[in-house]
Chain A
Amino acid sequence: MTVKVSLTVNGKPASAEVEERTLLVNFIRDSLRLTGTHVGCDTAQCGACTIHMNGRAVKSCNMLAMQAEGADLVTIEGIAKADGTLHPMQEAFRQHHGLQCGFCTPGMVMSAIDLVKNFPDPSEELIREQLDGNLCRCTGYHNIVKAIKAASQTMRS
């Protein structure tokens, strides 16, 4: 059976007919062709699929598309300004070499923005603790932590 899912993505309305069992991440990647949101595991541990739903970071691989019906979603494609200027978190990741292969990066950035929203002035220790829902195999986290710390300062100012 198919159902129609309608919602807002990155400020624009979007809808598609999908099977009821469709995960939100597949709806985003396959139906909307927004392929910046990634899938790195099947047990909701790696966080590569992190997006914002109604202002909160969620793992889009661990919910049904139907659970997001009517919701306001932001994906990695919707973070930079329309003219291409990077969001302060994206820019901090670039400045501090907080990414290597780039695969965990969209989820990491979306999670980090949510982190700073909840903890505007996080310590290094708190950043590490609050990153427990995102796995990165390349960077050893060192530069990710630095980037988030730096972004928290620019985002406050």
Chain B
Amino acid sequence: MYSFSYQKAKTVADAAKVLAKDGDAKLLAGGQSLIAAMKLRLAHPSAVIDLGTIKELSGIKGDSKAVAIGAMTRHAEVASSAAVKKAIPALASLAGGIGDRMVRNMGTIGGSLANNDPAADYPAAVLALGATIVTNKRKIAADEFFKGMYETALQKGEIITSVSFPVPKRAAYMKFKNPASRYAIVGVFVADSGSGVRVAVTGAAPSVFRVAAMEKALAAKFAPESVANIAVPEKGLNSDLHAKADYRAHLVTVMAKRAVEAAMK
């Protein structure tokens, strides 16, 4: 790890101020991606601003319409939250499948979304559920948030404070894991809001994306067979040692089908 200066932020405003001044500073949420990258000397921030002690960034509030999750809420807390399990069980289950148990005890929803790793799980839930990302400056709709590989709509000095998920009628997430890293090779989140269906895919491409054809078919009939023959184009999909693009494309269909099956249970 290269050296850097470390500071604990007392408030979000505090952190934003430092961020605005120092373009090479980085926010430290749970650190499960950032520290790992710094250890391998792939990231070299001048300063690390630790959000760990800002209490108001953590916590889960839910009712029958929506669940709001503070940015610094750990994956393990989301996975075990009675409110999330009741309102959006698919989201609790997704959180319970991120990384491993130790990673889930540190990693946060805000950190995951701000990082927007192509193989992260949360972006699929955020996009499929049509969540709203709340920052210190504004509210960003899921469809506007994810801009590309490790890129988001967040501006300089902008900090995620919470994420609000509308409660769907039914939803499910299915992930095909990379055998080595256990990140998503393909993860498909299917959500039926009652007024429409959204299908979001993570892992398969440089950034999370929706599959309009599947959404349309499922809106007409919410059943596994509706998506069984819908293939996403291979072009633009990730291709590596573990999964070439054609295999990923195939897995999108299989995972979508299985997610629909699970959502109907």
Contacts and interface: CB of A to CB of B under 8 A. Distances in A.
A and B touch in the complex (CB under 8 A): yes
Interface string B56-89: 0000000000000000000010001000000000
B3 to A, nearest CB: 5
A56 B5 contact: no
Interface string B26-56: 0010011001101110000000101010000
A38 interface: no
Contact of B6 (A3, A61, A134): A3
Interface in A106-142: 111, 114-115, 118, 130, 132-134
B103 A133 contact: yes
Interface in B1-22: 1-6, 8
A127 to B, nearest CB: 11
Contacts of B1: 21, 23
Interface stretch (B94-102, B148-156, B192-200, B257-265): B94-102
A113 B152 CA distance: 38
Interface residues of B, number: 29
Contact of A67 (B4, B50, B101, B105): B50
A58 interface: yes
Contacts of A88: none
A150 interface: no
B48 A59 contact: no
A63 B3 contact: no
B106 interface: yes
B102 A57 contact: yes
B242 interface: no
Contacts, number: 83
Interface residues of A, number: 32
B106 A21 contact: no
B102 A64 contact: no
B40 A42 contact: yes
Nearest to A107: B102
B183 to A, nearest CB: 11
B182 A47 contact: no
A122 to B, nearest CB: 12
A44 interface: yes
Contact of A63 (B40, B76, B80, B106): B106
A17 interface: no
Interface in A65-85: 66-67, 69
Contacts of A69: 8
Contacts of B101: 57, 111, 114-115, 118, 130, 132-133
B105 A64 contact: no
B4 A20 contact: yes
B27 to A, nearest CB: 13
Contacts of A114: 101-102
Contacts of A61: 39
Contacts of B31: 62-64, 67
Interface in B167-194: 181-182
A42 B39 contact: yes
Interface in A22-71: 23, 42-45, 47, 50, 53, 56-59, 61-64, 66-67, 69
Given A3-B6, A20-B4, A21-B4, A67 B102 contact: no
29 contacts: A3-B6, A20-B5, A21-B1, A23-B39, A43-B36, A44-B36, A50-B102, A53-B105, A57-B101, A58-B102, A58-B106, A62-B31, A62-B35, A62-B103, A62-B106, A63-B31, A63-B106, A64-B28, A66-B6, A66-B8, A67-B50, A69-B8, A115-B101, A118-B80, A118-B101, A132-B100, A132-B101, A133-B100, A133-B103
Given A44-B32, A114-B101, 7 more contacts: A21-B1, A57-B101, A62-B106, A64-B31, A64-B50, A69-B8, A118-B101
Interface of B: 1-6, 8, 28, 31-32, 35-36, 38-40, 48, 50, 52, 76, 80, 99-103, 105-106, 181-182
